[in-house]
Chain A
Amino acid sequence: MVPFIQVYGIYIILHGHLSPGGGFSGGAIFGASLVLIALSFNLEVGARQISHATASVLESGGALGFIITGLVAVALGGNYLANQAAGFPMGEAGELFSAGAIFIITAFLGIKVASTIVTLFYNIIEGDDKSGDAH
């Protein structure tokens, strides 16, 4: 079941500028698929899919990518987070690779939201374990 959920999440992220959805909802679906692995097997199997370090790097990287995309627009001669004015390749409206910065930012947002959900889940579960051992 997990691969289908992940494909659906990636589809929602990549088609954010074409159909209802986007970085937030697609990232939530992808993050939920990783949480489901940990729920249906156990925490070790889930943690093997994506480690803590990877999740942190992906999360910070997603936020940084968003900011850097905005700064690239400044470097290309537009305002911060400008899209067409900065000269991002627009493509043809309705195609998959179109809409310039929207496509890039949506992908970064999806990565960030997915890793946020995974990090949140693992931290809460492990925090629970530790306080249980301390007694």
Chain B
Amino acid sequence: MEDILFIIIAAIFAMRYLLRLQARGVFTILLVGLIGFFFSFTVAEMPPFGDPNNPVFNEIPARYMEAGVAETGAVNIVSSVIIDYRAFDTLGEATVLFVAIAAVIATLKSH
């Protein structure tokens, strides 16, 4: 149902641009429409939200829920996952921040 709503909204926006037609514009609209079609198709195929039979509910979240407090000492399960079980991923995230700010300084300080 949401997919249809999104497509209708996208079509309304597309109609505004169709009023001033150009060859490149038509190509862009077709391309965006194609991408949007595949995205809505994928979303429609996704498992329903909150269903206990979803493939994400395997033994890994069960372990986090049952043993997380005893293994990490953190009451907040989200913190215990991002800073203990997945700490290396968070280190990469902090590195992304660091590289981003380094890029900003390198770009803006040069002129």
A residues neighboring B (CB under 8 Å): 16-20, 22-23, 59-60, 62-63, 66-67, 70, 80-81, 83-84, 90-94, 98-102, 105-106, 109, 112-113, 116, 119-120, 123-124, 126-127, 130-131, 134
Q: Name the B residues within 8 Å of A94 (CB-CB).
A: 75
Q: Looking across the interface, which residue of chain B has its beta carbon closest to that of A81?
A: B87
Total interface residues on B, CB under 8 Å, equals: 29
CB contacts under 8 Å to A, within B45-97, are: 69-76, 78-80, 82-84, 87-88, 90-91, 94-95, 97
A20 to B73 CA separation, bound complex (whole angstroms): 15
Chain B residue nearest in CB terms to A19 = B76
Residue numbers in B under 8 Å from A126 (CB-CB): 108
**Which chain B residue shows the least CB distance to A83?**
B84
| A130 touching B111, Cβ below 8 Å | yes
| Alpha-carbon distance A84/B69, docked complex (angstroms) | 11
Check B105–A63 contact: CB distance below 8 A.
no
Q: CA separation between A63 and B97, bound complex, in Å? A: 10
Q: How far is the CB of B66 from chain A (nearest CB, A)?
A: 14
Q: Is B97 within 8 A of A116, CB to CB?
A: yes
Chain A residues in 8 Å Cβ range of B73: 17, 83-84, 90-93, 98-100, 102
12 contacts across the A-B interface (CB closer than 8 A): A23-B83, A59-B101, A84-B71, A84-B73, A98-B74, A100-B73, A101-B83, A102-B84, A116-B98, A116-B100, A123-B105, A126-B108
Q: Would you call B76 and A17 a contact (CB within 8 A)? A: yes
Q: Which single member of A22, A93, A131 contacts B82 (CB below 8 Å)?
A: A22
Judge if B16 is at the interface, Cβ distance under 8 Å. no
* Any A CB within 8 A of the CB of B20: no
> A54 CB to closest chain B CB, in angstroms?
15
Is the CB–CB distance between B95 and A63 below 8 Å? yes
Please tell me if the beta carbons of B78 and A99 are within 8 angstroms of each other in the complex.
no
Residues B108 and A127 in contact, CB atoms below 8 Å apart: yes
Contacting pair B98 A20 (CB below 8 A): no
Contact assessment for A134 and B79 in the assembled complex, using a CB-CB cutoff below 8 Å: no
Contact of A83 among B69, B72, B94, B97 (CB under 8 A): B72
